Amino acid sequence: MSRKLPKEEYDKTLSGKFEKWLSGSKDPYVGHVEMQKQSIDPEYEKLKKQNLKEKKEIRERIYDLENNSKIRKFRKIYRGFSILFCLFLVAMLLFAVADLPPFGNADNPVNNEVSARYIEKGLQETGAVNIVTGMILDYRAFDTLGESHVLFIATCTVLILLRVDKNSKKRKEESDAEIDDRHFEPKNDLILQSAARFLVPLIIIFGVYIILCGHLGPGGGFSGGAVIGAGLILYLNAFGFEKTERFFTAKTYKWMSFGALFCYAAAKSYSFYTGANHIESIIPLGVPGAIISSGLILILNICVGVVVSGTMYAFYVMFRKGGF
Protein backbone atom coordinates (compact mmCIF):
# COMPACT_ATOMS: atom_id res chain seq x y z
CA MET A 1 0.00 0.00 0.00
CA SER A 2 1.43 3.35 -0.94
CA ARG A 3 0.72 6.01 1.61
CA LYS A 4 2.05 9.58 1.75
CA LEU A 5 1.00 10.29 5.34
CA PRO A 6 2.40 8.46 8.33
CA LYS A 7 0.06 5.89 9.90
CA GLU A 8 -1.01 7.97 12.94
CA GLU A 9 -1.97 11.01 10.85
CA TYR A 10 -3.77 8.92 8.29
CA ASP A 11 -5.93 7.35 10.97
CA LYS A 12 -7.25 10.81 11.92
CA THR A 13 -8.48 11.64 8.40
CA LEU A 14 -11.95 10.75 7.16
CA SER A 15 -10.84 8.00 4.84
CA GLY A 16 -8.73 6.49 7.57
CA LYS A 17 -11.72 6.39 9.91
CA PHE A 18 -13.83 4.90 7.17
CA GLU A 19 -11.27 2.19 6.52
CA LYS A 20 -11.12 1.37 10.20
CA TRP A 21 -14.90 1.16 10.39
CA LEU A 22 -14.97 -1.00 7.30
CA SER A 23 -12.43 -3.45 8.67
CA GLY A 24 -14.35 -3.57 11.93
CA SER A 25 -11.42 -2.70 14.16
CA LYS A 26 -13.30 0.24 15.68
CA ASP A 27 -16.88 0.22 16.97
CA PRO A 28 -18.51 3.67 16.56
CA TYR A 29 -20.93 2.93 19.38
CA VAL A 30 -18.17 2.66 21.96
CA GLY A 31 -17.88 5.87 23.91
CA HIS A 32 -20.96 7.45 22.35
CA VAL A 33 -23.78 5.27 23.54
CA GLU A 34 -24.38 4.17 27.09
CA MET A 35 -23.99 0.47 27.09
CA GLN A 36 -24.34 -1.91 29.94
CA LYS A 37 -23.89 -5.59 30.04
CA GLN A 38 -27.00 -7.32 31.24
CA SER A 39 -26.23 -8.87 34.55
CA ILE A 40 -28.01 -12.05 35.45
CA ASP A 41 -29.25 -12.02 39.00
CA PRO A 42 -29.26 -15.67 40.07
CA GLU A 43 -31.88 -15.04 42.76
CA TYR A 44 -34.20 -13.33 40.32
CA GLU A 45 -33.83 -16.20 37.88
CA LYS A 46 -34.64 -18.65 40.67
CA LEU A 47 -37.71 -16.63 41.63
CA LYS A 48 -38.84 -16.54 38.02
CA LYS A 49 -38.55 -20.27 37.65
CA GLN A 50 -40.40 -20.85 40.89
CA ASN A 51 -43.18 -18.50 39.85
CA LEU A 52 -43.60 -20.28 36.55
CA LYS A 53 -43.73 -23.61 38.32
CA GLU A 54 -46.32 -22.38 40.82
CA LYS A 55 -48.45 -20.94 38.06
CA LYS A 56 -48.41 -24.24 36.25
CA GLU A 57 -49.32 -26.09 39.43
CA ILE A 58 -52.21 -23.76 40.20
CA ARG A 59 -53.48 -24.10 36.69
CA GLU A 60 -53.38 -27.84 36.93
CA ARG A 61 -55.13 -27.81 40.27
CA ILE A 62 -57.90 -25.49 39.09
CA TYR A 63 -58.69 -27.15 35.80
CA ASP A 64 -57.34 -30.63 36.47
CA LEU A 65 -57.45 -31.22 32.76
CA GLU A 66 -56.32 -34.82 32.89
CA ASN A 67 -59.10 -36.00 35.14
CA ASN A 68 -61.78 -33.45 34.42
CA SER A 69 -63.46 -34.70 31.31
CA LYS A 70 -66.20 -32.08 31.60
CA ILE A 71 -63.86 -29.18 30.98
CA ARG A 72 -62.13 -31.02 28.15
CA LYS A 73 -65.48 -31.72 26.54
CA PHE A 74 -66.63 -28.16 27.11
CA ARG A 75 -63.53 -26.80 25.44
CA LYS A 76 -64.01 -29.01 22.43
CA ILE A 77 -67.68 -28.16 22.10
CA TYR A 78 -66.92 -24.50 22.65
CA ARG A 79 -64.36 -24.49 19.86
CA GLY A 80 -66.69 -26.33 17.53
CA PHE A 81 -69.56 -23.99 18.25
CA SER A 82 -67.49 -20.85 17.83
CA ILE A 83 -66.29 -22.05 14.43
CA LEU A 84 -69.82 -22.94 13.41
CA PHE A 85 -71.12 -19.60 14.63
CA CYS A 86 -68.49 -17.67 12.72
CA LEU A 87 -69.19 -19.65 9.56
CA PHE A 88 -72.89 -18.97 9.98
CA LEU A 89 -72.29 -15.25 10.47
CA VAL A 90 -69.99 -15.12 7.45
CA ALA A 91 -72.50 -17.00 5.30
CA MET A 92 -75.34 -14.75 6.39
CA LEU A 93 -73.41 -11.57 5.72
CA LEU A 94 -72.21 -12.84 2.33
CA PHE A 95 -75.79 -13.71 1.49
CA ALA A 96 -76.86 -10.20 2.42
CA VAL A 97 -74.02 -8.55 0.53
CA ALA A 98 -74.78 -10.56 -2.61
CA ASP A 99 -78.20 -8.96 -2.80
CA LEU A 100 -77.08 -5.39 -2.13
CA PRO A 101 -77.29 -2.84 -4.95
CA PRO A 102 -74.27 -3.30 -7.29
CA PHE A 103 -71.30 -1.08 -6.52
CA GLY A 104 -70.99 2.11 -8.53
CA ASN A 105 -74.35 1.86 -10.24
CA ALA A 106 -75.88 5.25 -11.00
CA ASP A 107 -79.39 4.15 -10.00
CA ASN A 108 -78.35 3.09 -6.50
CA PRO A 109 -80.45 4.47 -3.66
CA VAL A 110 -77.31 6.06 -2.20
CA ASN A 111 -77.08 8.47 -5.13
CA ASN A 112 -79.93 10.68 -4.03
CA GLU A 113 -80.55 14.31 -3.22
CA VAL A 114 -78.47 14.12 -0.04
CA SER A 115 -75.12 13.39 -1.67
CA ALA A 116 -76.07 15.56 -4.65
CA ARG A 117 -76.35 18.62 -2.44
CA TYR A 118 -73.10 17.82 -0.64
CA ILE A 119 -71.28 17.68 -3.95
CA GLU A 120 -73.00 20.50 -5.80
CA LYS A 121 -73.50 23.06 -3.07
CA GLY A 122 -70.89 21.98 -0.53
CA LEU A 123 -68.29 24.54 -1.54
CA GLN A 124 -70.79 27.36 -1.67
CA GLU A 125 -72.52 26.57 1.62
CA THR A 126 -69.61 25.60 3.82
CA GLY A 127 -66.77 27.44 2.11
CA ALA A 128 -64.58 24.34 2.32
CA VAL A 129 -62.84 23.14 -0.83
CA ASN A 130 -62.56 19.67 0.70
CA ILE A 131 -66.14 18.39 0.64
CA VAL A 132 -65.47 15.67 3.20
CA THR A 133 -64.31 18.22 5.75
CA GLY A 134 -67.34 20.34 4.98
CA MET A 135 -69.56 17.35 5.59
CA ILE A 136 -68.09 16.19 8.88
CA LEU A 137 -67.48 19.60 10.39
CA ASP A 138 -70.40 21.61 9.08
CA TYR A 139 -73.30 19.57 7.72
CA ARG A 140 -73.00 16.79 10.27
CA ALA A 141 -70.99 18.54 12.96
CA PHE A 142 -73.06 17.08 15.79
CA ASP A 143 -71.72 13.59 15.02
CA THR A 144 -68.14 14.85 15.00
CA LEU A 145 -68.74 16.64 18.29
CA GLY A 146 -69.70 13.27 19.75
CA GLU A 147 -66.76 11.58 18.06
CA SER A 148 -64.19 13.93 19.59
CA HIS A 149 -65.68 13.19 23.00
CA VAL A 150 -65.29 9.49 22.28
CA LEU A 151 -61.53 10.10 22.11
CA PHE A 152 -61.62 12.13 25.29
CA ILE A 153 -63.53 9.51 27.24
CA ALA A 154 -61.26 6.78 25.90
CA THR A 155 -58.24 8.55 27.44
CA CYS A 156 -60.16 8.97 30.69
CA THR A 157 -60.85 5.24 30.78
CA VAL A 158 -57.19 4.46 30.16
CA LEU A 159 -56.38 6.89 32.97
CA ILE A 160 -58.63 4.93 35.30
CA LEU A 161 -56.93 1.71 34.32
CA LEU A 162 -53.28 2.71 34.18
CA ARG A 163 -52.63 5.89 36.14
CA VAL A 164 -50.40 5.22 39.09
CA ASP A 165 -51.44 7.41 41.95
CA LYS A 166 -48.27 8.36 43.80
CA ASN A 167 -50.11 9.13 47.02
CA SER A 168 -52.06 5.95 47.28
CA LYS A 169 -50.71 3.40 49.73
CA LYS A 170 -51.83 0.32 47.90
CA ARG A 171 -50.06 1.38 44.77
CA LYS A 172 -46.84 2.15 46.59
CA GLU A 173 -46.62 -1.35 47.95
CA GLU A 174 -47.33 -2.78 44.55
CA SER A 175 -44.72 -0.75 42.74
CA ASP A 176 -42.13 -1.54 45.38
CA ALA A 177 -42.86 -5.21 45.12
CA GLU A 178 -42.82 -5.71 41.42
CA ILE A 179 -39.80 -5.09 39.28
CA ASP A 180 -40.88 -2.81 36.51
CA ASP A 181 -39.16 -0.50 34.11
CA ARG A 182 -41.71 2.27 34.48
CA HIS A 183 -39.23 4.63 36.10
CA PHE A 184 -36.24 3.93 33.90
CA GLU A 185 -35.53 6.64 31.43
CA PRO A 186 -34.62 5.75 27.87
CA LYS A 187 -30.88 5.42 27.26
CA ASN A 188 -29.13 8.24 25.49
CA ASP A 189 -29.03 6.74 22.04
CA LEU A 190 -26.97 9.01 19.78
CA ILE A 191 -28.46 7.78 16.52
CA LEU A 192 -32.03 8.17 17.77
CA GLN A 193 -31.28 11.60 19.20
CA SER A 194 -29.65 12.90 16.04
CA ALA A 195 -32.48 11.56 13.91
CA ALA A 196 -35.09 12.94 16.27
CA ARG A 197 -33.47 16.35 16.33
CA PHE A 198 -33.85 16.45 12.58
CA LEU A 199 -37.20 14.68 12.21
CA VAL A 200 -39.35 15.91 15.11
CA PRO A 201 -39.66 19.54 13.95
CA LEU A 202 -40.43 18.36 10.43
CA ILE A 203 -43.07 15.91 11.62
CA ILE A 204 -44.74 18.48 13.86
CA ILE A 205 -44.70 21.15 11.17
CA PHE A 206 -46.18 18.65 8.72
CA GLY A 207 -48.91 17.79 11.26
CA VAL A 208 -49.73 21.47 11.71
CA TYR A 209 -49.91 21.83 7.94
CA ILE A 210 -52.33 18.90 7.66
CA ILE A 211 -54.56 20.41 10.33
CA LEU A 212 -54.52 23.94 8.91
CA CYS A 213 -55.20 22.79 5.34
CA GLY A 214 -57.95 20.38 6.31
CA HIS A 215 -60.57 22.49 4.56
CA LEU A 216 -58.47 22.97 1.43
CA GLY A 217 -57.29 19.48 0.67
CA PRO A 218 -56.95 16.02 2.12
CA GLY A 219 -56.31 16.20 5.84
CA GLY A 220 -57.96 17.61 8.90
CA GLY A 221 -57.86 17.48 12.66
CA PHE A 222 -57.91 13.74 13.11
CA SER A 223 -55.03 12.88 10.75
CA GLY A 224 -52.94 15.96 11.57
CA GLY A 225 -53.37 15.38 15.29
CA ALA A 226 -52.18 11.81 14.89
CA VAL A 227 -49.06 13.02 13.06
CA ILE A 228 -48.24 15.57 15.77
CA GLY A 229 -48.80 12.91 18.41
CA ALA A 230 -46.33 10.63 16.61
CA GLY A 231 -43.77 13.45 16.58
CA LEU A 232 -44.17 14.00 20.32
CA ILE A 233 -43.79 10.28 21.00
CA LEU A 234 -40.57 10.18 18.94
CA TYR A 235 -39.22 13.14 20.91
CA LEU A 236 -40.10 11.44 24.17
CA ASN A 237 -38.35 8.25 23.14
CA ALA A 238 -35.19 10.06 22.15
CA PHE A 239 -34.83 12.49 25.04
CA GLY A 240 -36.74 11.00 27.94
CA PHE A 241 -39.38 12.27 30.30
CA GLU A 242 -37.23 14.90 31.96
CA LYS A 243 -37.15 16.97 28.79
CA THR A 244 -40.77 16.49 27.74
CA GLU A 245 -42.06 17.27 31.19
CA ARG A 246 -40.70 20.77 30.85
CA PHE A 247 -43.49 21.56 28.43
CA PHE A 248 -46.00 18.70 28.61
CA THR A 249 -47.32 17.47 31.94
CA ALA A 250 -50.59 15.97 33.09
CA LYS A 251 -51.80 19.47 33.84
CA THR A 252 -50.97 20.70 30.36
CA TYR A 253 -52.84 17.79 28.85
CA LYS A 254 -55.87 18.34 31.07
CA TRP A 255 -56.18 22.02 30.28
CA MET A 256 -55.34 21.49 26.62
CA SER A 257 -58.09 18.96 26.02
CA PHE A 258 -60.53 20.90 28.19
CA GLY A 259 -59.83 24.07 26.26
CA ALA A 260 -60.12 22.39 22.89
CA LEU A 261 -63.33 20.56 23.72
CA PHE A 262 -64.77 23.71 25.26
CA CYS A 263 -63.95 25.74 22.12
CA TYR A 264 -65.47 23.02 19.97
CA ALA A 265 -68.65 22.77 22.02
CA ALA A 266 -69.01 26.55 22.31
CA ALA A 267 -68.41 27.22 18.62
CA LYS A 268 -70.76 24.50 17.51
CA SER A 269 -73.41 25.40 20.07
CA TYR A 270 -73.43 28.90 18.63
CA SER A 271 -73.94 27.59 15.13
CA PHE A 272 -76.57 25.00 16.22
CA TYR A 273 -78.43 27.64 18.18
CA THR A 274 -78.43 30.23 15.42
CA GLY A 275 -79.30 27.62 12.82
CA ALA A 276 -82.25 26.20 14.69
CA ASN A 277 -83.64 29.58 15.65
CA HIS A 278 -83.14 30.97 12.12
CA ILE A 279 -80.75 33.69 13.24
CA GLU A 280 -78.17 34.83 10.73
CA SER A 281 -74.74 33.60 11.74
CA ILE A 282 -72.15 36.39 11.99
CA ILE A 283 -69.29 34.13 10.97
CA PRO A 284 -68.15 34.94 7.42
CA LEU A 285 -67.37 32.07 5.08
CA GLY A 286 -64.49 33.92 3.43
CA VAL A 287 -62.99 33.25 0.02
CA PRO A 288 -62.91 29.51 -0.75
CA GLY A 289 -59.30 28.38 -1.09
CA ALA A 290 -57.80 30.89 1.32
CA ILE A 291 -56.34 29.62 4.58
CA ILE A 292 -58.68 31.72 6.70
CA SER A 293 -61.99 30.76 5.17
CA SER A 294 -64.92 28.38 5.53
CA GLY A 295 -66.22 29.84 8.77
CA LEU A 296 -65.78 27.70 11.84
CA ILE A 297 -64.21 24.70 10.12
CA LEU A 298 -60.63 25.89 10.62
CA ILE A 299 -61.17 26.46 14.35
CA LEU A 300 -62.92 23.11 14.74
CA ASN A 301 -60.08 21.37 12.90
CA ILE A 302 -57.54 22.94 15.24
CA CYS A 303 -59.60 21.86 18.27
CA VAL A 304 -59.89 18.30 17.00
CA GLY A 305 -56.16 18.26 16.19
CA VAL A 306 -55.24 19.38 19.71
CA VAL A 307 -57.49 16.73 21.25
CA VAL A 308 -56.19 13.96 19.00
CA SER A 309 -52.50 14.77 19.44
CA GLY A 310 -52.94 15.01 23.21
CA THR A 311 -54.79 11.72 23.24
CA MET A 312 -52.10 9.91 21.23
CA TYR A 313 -49.33 11.20 23.45
CA ALA A 314 -51.29 10.53 26.65
CA PHE A 315 -51.97 6.95 25.60
CA TYR A 316 -48.29 6.34 25.01
CA VAL A 317 -47.20 7.91 28.28
CA MET A 318 -49.85 6.03 30.20
CA PHE A 319 -48.75 2.68 28.84
CA ARG A 320 -45.10 3.56 29.35
CA LYS A 321 -45.09 4.64 32.97
CA GLY A 322 -48.64 4.98 34.18
CA GLY A 323 -48.92 8.73 34.23
CA PHE A 324 -47.13 11.82 33.08
- Site residues for another protein per CB under 8 A: 92-93, 95-97, 99-101, 108-115, 117-118, 125, 138-143, 145-147, 149-150, 152-154, 156-157, 159-161, 163, 165, 167-168, 171, 254-255, 257-258, 261-262, 265, 269, 271-278, 281
Answer yes or no: are the C-beta atoms of 131 and 114 closer than 8 Å: no
- Report the residue number, 119 or 191, with the smaller CB distance to another protein: 119
Tell me how far apart the alpha carbons of residues 200 and 316 are, in angstroms, rounded to a whole number.
Answer: 16
Largest CA distance in the chain: 91
The minimum distance between CB 199 and another protein, in angstroms, equals: 32
The minimum distance between CB 63 and another protein, in angstroms, equals: 17
Answer yes or no: are the C-beta atoms of 298 and 212 closer than 8 Å: yes
Buried b (16+ CB within 10 A) or exposed e, 28-60: eeeeeeeeeeeeeeeeeeeeeeeeeeeeeeeee
- Report the residue number, 138 or 200, with the smaller CB distance to another protein: 138
The minimum distance between CB 71 and another protein, in angstroms, equals: 17
DSSP secondary structure of 103-115: TT-TT-TTSSHHH
Tell me how far apart the alpha carbons of residues 266 and 285 are, in angstroms, rounded to a whole number.
Answer: 18
The minimum distance between CB 273 and another protein, in angstroms, equals: 7
- Report the residue number, 13 or 115, with the smaller CB distance to another protein: 115
- Report the residue number, 240 or 323, with the smaller CB distance to another protein: 323
- Report the residue number, 80 or 201, with the smaller CB distance to another protein: 80
The minimum distance between CB 96 and another protein, in angstroms, equals: 4
The minimum distance between CB 289 and another protein, in angstroms, equals: 21
Tell me how far apart the alpha carbons of residues 191 and 196 are, in angstroms, rounded to a whole number.
Answer: 8
Query: Could you report how far apart the first and last alpha carbons of the chain are, in Å?
Result: 59
- Report the residue number, 141 or 200, with the smaller CB distance to another protein: 141
Contacts 24+ apart (CB under 8 A), 103-110: none
Output phi, psi for 268, to 5 deg: -75, -35
